[in-house]
């Protein structure tokens, strides 16, 4: 696909998400209380930093630089194309800005981050938070319909959609722990989600500071083969301050971070 077509495809998918996520999530947020299964990780290997001693604690947890990484921790639940999320333990929805919502457990962290950004002259615009499977289905279907109307085949429409929009049941937004954040200025200037956001002060601030409040950029540049998604500078995921700091400082994805547990436990058995 040419670069021009790729940019156009991203704009279509992100435009659909921008338009539909708000109206659908408002309807879904009221009744969301669910419970979940243990989070899982992909089979891709992660190499620990040189000379780093990892200590297995259980079959699903390790001590990593004094931080307990436990795959059953609600903060570390993994949702991606390989591992769908069926239920989320302890999920209770908290209404937030702009008719959006999120897991009530992360709301204080989001508010603290927002206030810190405001103190630095940055205003947030929360454009997406918790999203039910039904809401995700609507966004997914509308994106495919948009591509079909532009003359793409069904196969092409699905592929283009899945580059930027998760298949229903596999979206991090279903966990209530993922937030799409831009700024009012960006929304005014561009009005859709694409890589142009990276040049705005809000994107720079989030990239440099979000980990201090427990959030990480979920889909960084250069990690597409691991996360399964193209870079999204607006998509932030709550994992807790200790985990976010480790992930940020070592340039890991959530998949790589959780894979440390599997690798360490397996190596300890040898």
CA distances, 76 to each of 5, 14, 91, 230 (Å): 35, 26, 13, 21
- DSSP assigned state of 166: P
DSSP string, 100-155: -EEETTTHHHHHHHHHHHHHTT---EEEE----HHHHHHHHHHHHHHHHHTT--HH
Task: Choose the catalytic residue: 25, 172, 232, 255.
Answer: 232
Strand partners, 93: 103
Residue pointed to by tokens 């809000």: 202
At residue 39, the 3 state secondary structure works out as coil
Is 232 part of the annotated catalytic residue set? Answer: yes
Q: By the 8 A CB rule, do 159 and 228 touch? A: no
Cα–Cα separations (whole angstroms), residue 238 to 126, 127, 162, 253: 14, 16, 23, 13
Largest CA distance in the chain: 57
Dist. CA 16–CA 146, nearest whole Å: 8
Task: Please state, in angstroms and rounded to a whole number, the distance separating the CA atoms of residues 61 and 95.
Answer: 32
> What is the separation, in whole angstroms, between the first and last Cα of the chain?
45
Residues annotated as catalytic are: 232
């Amino acid at each position: 696909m040419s670069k021009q077509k790729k940019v156009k495809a991203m704009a279509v998918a992100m435009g659909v998400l921008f338009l539909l996520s708000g109206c659908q999530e408002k309807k879904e947020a009221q009744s969301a209380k669910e419970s979940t299964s243990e989070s899982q990780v992909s089979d891709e290997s992660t190499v620990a930093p040189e000379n780093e001693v990892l200590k297995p604690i259980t079959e699903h947890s390790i001590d990593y630089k004094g931080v307990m990484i436990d795959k059953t921790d609600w903060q570390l639940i993994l949702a991606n194309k390989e591992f769908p999320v069926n239920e989320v333990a302890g999920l209770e929805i908290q209404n937030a800005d702009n008719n959006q919502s999120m897991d009530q457990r992360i709301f204080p962290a989001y508010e603290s981050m927002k206030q810190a950004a405001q103190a630095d002259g940055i205003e947030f615009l929360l454009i997406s938070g918790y999203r039910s499977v039904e809401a995700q289905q609507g966004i997914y279907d509308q994106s495919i319909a948009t591509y079909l109307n532009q003359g793409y085949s069904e196969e092409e429409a699905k592929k283009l959609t899945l580059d930027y929009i998760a298949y229903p049941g596999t979206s991090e937004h279903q966990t209530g722990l993922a937030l799409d954040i831009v700024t009012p200025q960006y929304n005014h200037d561009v009005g859709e989600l694409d890589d142009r956001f990276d040049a705005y002060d809000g994107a720079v601030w989030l990239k440099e500071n979000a980990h201090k409040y427990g959030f990480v950029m979920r889909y960084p540049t250069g990690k597409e083969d691991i996360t399964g998604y193209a870079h999204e500078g607006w998509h932030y995921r709550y994992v807790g301050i200790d985990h976010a700091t480790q992930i940020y400082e070592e340039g890991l994805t959530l998949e790589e971070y959780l894979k440390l547990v599997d690798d360490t436990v397996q190596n300890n058995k040898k």
